[in-house]
Structure 1
Amino acid sequence: MRPLLGLILITFRELWARKIVLGLFIVSSLVLLAMAFALNLDVVEGSLAGIRLFGQEAAPEDMANEDGPPLTLDRVVVAVESVVAGVAYWIGILLALFASASLFPDLQSAGRVELLLSKPIGRVQALFGHVLGVWSAIGILTVYLMGGVWLIMSFKTGIWNPRFLLSLVLVVGMFAVMYAAVTLMGVWTESTALGLIVSYGLIFVSMVLAASEQISPTLGSIGQPVFWGLYHTLPNFTEVTQIVSTLAKGETVDSWYPFFSSLLFGAAAYGATGVWFARRDF
């Protein structure tokens, strides 16, 4: 157990030493400070009476569309939490992948991997400790930002949206899925650049796969099975965005399939990484 915890702590230190992770922490702190002090909601008997942002005041009727529903306290909370969830999902995961992509290739560098494997720890356990350390570090940052926003908005408004916290799980889960591609490329080529290219490429491909209902009918008898095979095999990163948004709004998710199918891809990629790492000649 101690060697595993040691690997997790080492991974924490390496991630913290990278300025991007420190930058994410600073940006998250600034967002929380802005939410706590710059955004003020005047609530009178449970209704929104006014909004003050960086000293600028506005009444709900001034911010509502003429043809749309009135701006209520619930809508403000949902809007703020949805924006935070979307930013954490897209920008947060992209930056987290960039910050952590070199960790696994560096772990396999000459001299370091031999020193690691000389310890009383198996190869699969070493891989698990590394991956768990990366997940935990990114998870802590995500909880810090999204959990902080949730608490601030809840205390300010008295509106508690627990479903928003489920979107936090999806952010960390989808990062873990995309990091699986990084580790698989890392054990194969020890290339940080290729790991990033593949993971970002999968995200780009998911944008195309998200338009499956529009694209599939235009394909031929050969193209359709290939397209749907990719749809069910590769991570559905873009479609999970809709689930994150739905949870942030406190609504019921129609289908969890994009998320669970992505988890299956991640599990398969980590399994392949473990087998390859265990058989490599270091």
Structure 2
Amino acid sequence: MMRQTAAIFLDSYRELNSRKLFWVAIGISGLIVAAFACTGINAQGLTFITWTLPIPFIGSFFTPELFYKWAFINIGVKFWLSWIAMGLALLSTASVFPDFVANGSIELSLSKPIGRLRLFLTKYAAAMLFATLQVATFTIASFLVIGIRGGAWEWRIFLAIPIVVLVFSYVYCVCVMCGLLTRSTIFSLLAAGLFWLFLFLLNLADQGTLAFKAQTQAEIAQSERTLPRMQENARKTIAKTLALNDPSIQLPAYSDDAKAGNPTDADLALANPMLATRQKSLAEKKELLETITKWNTGFVIGKAILPKTTETTSLLDRSLLSEDDIKRIRMGDEPEAQPVVIEDETPNPTETREQRQQRRREIQADAAGRVEQALRSRSLWYVIGGSLAFEAVILSFCAWFFSRRDF
């Protein structure tokens, strides 16, 4: 029985291997790794073969090891393997099951002494081999580049193989289901593409509301640190004003409590008009935070039972980059960083331009840290467990349909 399974698997592999897109993807992977190997960093900036692109301070937060790992994750995996190469793999494998169940093709396979369930799983595994070979080739070559050029033989790089193949399987199972139901390659490819787009947009909504939430939390935290100082300064102003005891000076209409040494909020607002504005802004932001949190929680719950392509890919970040590495990279981006969302632009005449810029940088750094912490706090069960449960349901239906269908 294993001989028949191996024969079907080998035939499927030969069919995929004969397709030009497979070798196109391998060739592009080779070019990317070659460019990867020709790129480096030094004290002056970014280097490519003999050319140098001056980038100030890049050497202060990027070591060669960190640079190559960062490039492998963000360019090699998150861009090339998770988008372009995965798209090519879908184009190449979308026709596997529609062609397989077409009249005149399925009868020959069903005539062999092999169960339908094993036949289905064998064809599915052979199709998954296409993506596995692409990812494995790119990862092995990148491992050598990082070891030789970066001086770090990082074996955890090979986690990219199961992670990226897992992401491909999330989308491909939908392609297989539509291919079995409609026997149409175009429809199954279109359905898989739309499902992939839906997952991307859902994750974008989650990430966007999470960033907005973190930004608002950072602004609230800074306001709560600033308000006590402003209140204390207002109390000192009231005390100094009352201590003058000069009838020629028209004093603000402070209450008797203020004169007794216990100024009210209204007294503090008279001493510093900015205080009331900041307090009102803080209250509004807390209300806004409640609304944002509800939306973000809704997206997180909605994603729980669906494949999480972006978050699964980001598991590689957790393995290869420590929190200190991420902080170093973020410090390098900080001077040029732009606000994620609206800033607290409450006018403050006493605040200099440098102080305002520093305040914004502190808010951005705090918000970025909160986002990173929130994403890393999501458990493997949430990221992978729900995704695999969805895929298991889809594949179980496909296996049942294939086993019961009268072809």
> Per the shorter chain, which TM-score range?
0.7 to 0.9
* Counterpart among 133, 147, 151 of residue 158 in structure 1: 151
Aligned positions of 1:127-206 closer than 5 A:
127-206=120-199
Residues 1:281 and 2:281 are matched in the alignment: no
CA shift at 1:236, angstroms?
1.6
Tell me the amino acid that sits aligned with residue 259 of structure 1.
I
Partner of 1:4: 5
* CA–CA distance in structure 2, aligned partners of residues 28 and 56 of structure 1: 23
Q: Secondary structure at 1:159's aligned position in 2?
A: coil
Tell me the amino acid that sits aligned with residue 186 of structure 1.
G
> Any conservation in 2 of the 1:81–1:248 contact (CA below 8 Å)?
no
Q: Secondary structure at 2:114's aligned position in 1?
A: coil
CA shift at 1:127, angstroms?
0.7
Residues 1:55 and 2:50 are matched in the alignment: yes
Tell me the C-alpha RMSD between the 2 structures: 3.0
Residues 1:76 and 2:63 are matched in the alignment: no
Partner of 2:363: none
> Any conservation in 1 of the 2:128–2:169 contact (CA below 8 Å)?
yes
* CA–CA distance in structure 2, aligned partners of residues 156 and 234 of structure 1: 39
* CA–CA distance in structure 2, aligned partners of residues 52 and 219 of structure 1: 44
> In structure 2, do the counterparts of structure 1 residues 260 and 147 end up closer, same or farther at CA, with 3 Å as the change threshold?
farther
* Counterpart among 241, 263, 270 of residue 395 in structure 2: 270
> In structure 2, do the counterparts of structure 1 residues 220 and 75 end up closer, same or farther at CA, with 3 Å as the change threshold?
closer
* CA–CA distance in structure 1, aligned partners of residues 400 and 91 of structure 2: 25
> Any conservation in 2 of the 1:85–1:245 contact (CA below 8 Å)?
no
Flag the structure with larger Rg. Answer: 2
> Any conservation in 2 of the 1:123–1:278 contact (CA below 8 Å)?
yes
> Any conservation in 2 of the 1:183–1:195 contact (CA below 8 Å)?
yes
> Any conservation in 1 of the 2:77–2:160 contact (CA below 8 Å)?
yes
**More displaced, 152-161 or 92-101?**
152-161
Q: Secondary structure at 2:52's aligned position in 1?
A: strand
CA shift at 1:100, angstroms?
0.6
Residues 1:242 and 2:233 are matched in the alignment: no
Partner of 1:45: none
The TM-score, its normalising length taken from structure 2, stands at 0.59
> Any conservation in 2 of the 1:202–1:235 contact (CA below 8 Å)?
no
> In structure 2, do the counterparts of structure 1 residues 85 and 3 end up closer, same or farther at CA, with 3 Å as the change threshold?
same
Partner of 2:77: 85
The TM-score, its normalising length taken from structure 1, stands at 0.83
How high is the sequence identity, in percent, across the aligned residues?
Answer: 26
Partner of 1:125: 118
**More displaced, 261-270 or 100-109?**
261-270
Matched pairs, number = 269
> Any conservation in 1 of the 2:39–2:46 contact (CA below 8 Å)?
yes
CA shift at 1:137, angstroms?
2.7
Partner of 2:260: none
CA shift at 1:19, angstroms?
1.5
CA shift at 1:148, angstroms?
1.3
Tell me the amino acid that sits aligned with residue 305 of structure 2.
T
CA shift at 1:31, angstroms?
2.5
Tell me the amino acid that sits aligned with residue 55 of structure 2.
M
Tell me the amino acid that sits aligned with residue 53 of structure 1.
F
Unaligned 5+ runs, structure 1: 43-47
* CA–CA distance in structure 1, aligned partners of residues 195 and 177 of structure 2: 13
* CA–CA distance in structure 1, aligned partners of residues 138 and 49 of structure 2: 20
CA shift at 1:162, angstroms?
2.8
Q: Secondary structure at 2:61's aligned position in 1?
A: coil
Tell me the amino acid that sits aligned with residue 57 of structure 1.
T
CA shift at 1:49, angstroms?
8.7
Tell me the amino acid that sits aligned with residue 247 of structure 1.
S
